Structure 1
Amino acid sequence: MNCPKCNSNNIRKNGHRRGKQNYQCKTCGRQYKHEFHSELGYSKKVKENCLTMYLNGNGFRAIERITKVNHNTVIRWVRQTENQLPDSSNDHQIPQVGKLDELQTFIGKKNKIWIWTALNKDYSEILEYVIGDRSAKIFEELWEKIKDWNCYFWITDGYKVYPKFIPDGDQIISKTSMTRIEGENSRLRHYLARLHRKTFCYSKSKEMLFLSIKLLIYYLKEKNLSTIIRG
């Protein structure tokens, strides 16, 4: 059992309210009724429905309003998928020509952060990504994941960081050839409420943003979540 506010498992029973068991968290003091602690009783179908809603543009609070499932429960279900998701780097064809781009979003309401993405020129699927600031140090994390692809060429926009890592003669700067990867970045914005422009939804942690993107990439490829949801 975990507290819906601070996720602590330091919980004690605290009487009954309206015939239902009441609990209190010893860590933060939050009191809540049994109904908030009943995710183990939800069916696999309900979990899949809530997660599918999340991956189709609904925020956690919106899912709660529609399904009556507490938003903290849905957040836990998202986190539970982490160990079930396959490693994307082991499940794709190494591209001959790669594309690189960066997408700006926020952690909190004001802290800018970038999602650096890489994909195959011929397919609409993000193969690798990292999250951080727009510095060479963060791009280097992505480069370490993809440099062994040994692509003939890398297509990028004109951002100054790329030539520091891409060998001379292997970079093609072409805004018109960036359509596919920019389209994939737009799909991230479309499917995840936390990436929408002018939205009340936003990421509170880089870890949750990273997992949400990983889960979305899996969903867009497999078209369902049934194999990674615990019953």
Structure 2
Amino acid sequence: MVLEPVCCPRCDEIEVIKHGKTAQGKQRYRCQQLECTLSAFICDYSYAAYSLQVQQQIGEMAINGSGIRDTARVLGISPTTVINTLKKSLQLPAINMAVLERLQPTQTIVRLCMAEDSDLEAEVDEMWSFVQSKSQQRWLWWAIDHNSGEVLAYVLSDRKDKAFIELKALLEPFGIMQFYSDGWGAYERHIDPVFHTVGKRNTQKIERKHLTLRTRIKRLARKTICFSKSVVMHDVVIGLFINRVAFGLTIP
């Protein structure tokens, strides 16, 4: 007789115990790892979309150019299920905590107080897109480390000063001493000229990231019949891409 261990689909640990049965008589399990966020699971779901693997596939397909109906056809599930699964990711982090944690607390305070410390430089820019029609514009405001190219923070909003003010507030913990941007007025109005350099010469890395986004997410392509029909789904797909690819987070 061969005993096959049951692994937790989220953390892949085998410290799993039985946790009763479902109404259909299927065995339920619970992971014993304290840091695991999965409360209970079963090994054989009647509907494929309930499994964690399929939910992760939905996110992966969304950030790799697949539309809602494309994903539903490939995975054999309902388009409504795809939408509801993606909407579970509404509360996505807007700041790269991995980069922030590498900064020493004292180092951050020094950077905020010393103008001559210009080690941390950031490129900031906004990228145009639309929802439903080109009259309903949507903008991605974000910032990257000028030296490493790592994404620091992002905001999805309209093209008004309040959007950049929100982004600037997210960037404050990084203690950025030099900003590089284009000549859009919001930057000139809200960044001290001492810490601000205008010109495309120093924003090539972030412009290249715009191209990556438009290549990977078809709803962002300029000449296409594919576009977002709701602001919520538009923001969720872009947020998932940034969190998984740029922040390196695993979000189901």
The normalised TM-score by structure 2 is: 0.66
Q: Does 1:63 align with 2:63?
A: no
2:241 maps to which of 206, 212, 216:
216
- Provide the secondary structure at the position in 2 that maps to 1:198: coil
RMSD: 2.5
CA distance in 2, matches of 1:101, 1:208: 22
Q: Percent identity?
A: 29
Q: Shift in Å at residue 49 of structure 1?
A: 2.2
Deviations 1:100-125 (A, max 9, x none): 00100002122122111111112333
Work out the CA distance in 2 between the residues paired with 1:49 and 1:112: 29
CA contact (8 A) 2:120 2:176 kept: yes
CA distance in 2, matches of 1:149, 1:44: 35
Q: After superposition, give the CA deviation of every residue in 1:155-180 in whole Å (9 maximum; x if it has no partner).
A: 11121221111112111112122111
Q: Distance in 1 between matches of 2:66 and 2:150?
A: 22
Partner of 2:218: 193
Where structure 1 has 5 or more consecutive residues not aligned to the other structure, the ranges are: 1-37
**Does the 8 A contact of 2:59 with 2:240 survive in 1?**
no
Aligned: 1:88 with 2:95:
yes
**Deviations 1:118-140, CA, capped at 9 Å, x for gaps:** 11112333221222222223222
Asked if the contact 1:124–1:184 (Cα under 8 Å) also holds between the matched residues in 2, the reply is no
Say yes or no: does 1:127 pair with 2:152.
yes
CA distance in 2: counterparts of 1:96 and 1:171, whole angstroms:
13
Matched, 1:145 2:170: yes
1:14-163 maps to which residues of 2 (within 5 A)? 42-82=50-90, 85-86=92-93, 88-93=95-100, 96-110=120-134, 111-163=136-188
* Separation (CA, whole Å) in 2 of partners of 1:171 and 1:222: 25
Equivalent AA in structure 1 for residue 201 of structure 2:
T
Counterpart code for 1:115: L
Larger Rg over CA atoms:
2
The partner residue of 1:206 within 224, 228, 231 is 231
- Displacement after TM superposition at 1:196 (Å): 1.9
Question: Structure 2: which 5+ residue stretches go unaligned?
Answer: 1-45, 104-118
Cα distance in 2 for residues equivalent to 1:172 and 1:222:
26
SS of structure 1 residue aligned to 2:133? coil
**Paired residue secondary structure (1:137):** helix
Aligned residues: 189
The one-character-per-residue Cα deviations of 1:14-47 (angstroms, maximum 9, x if unpaired) are xxxxxxxxxxxxxxxxxxxxxxxx7576422222
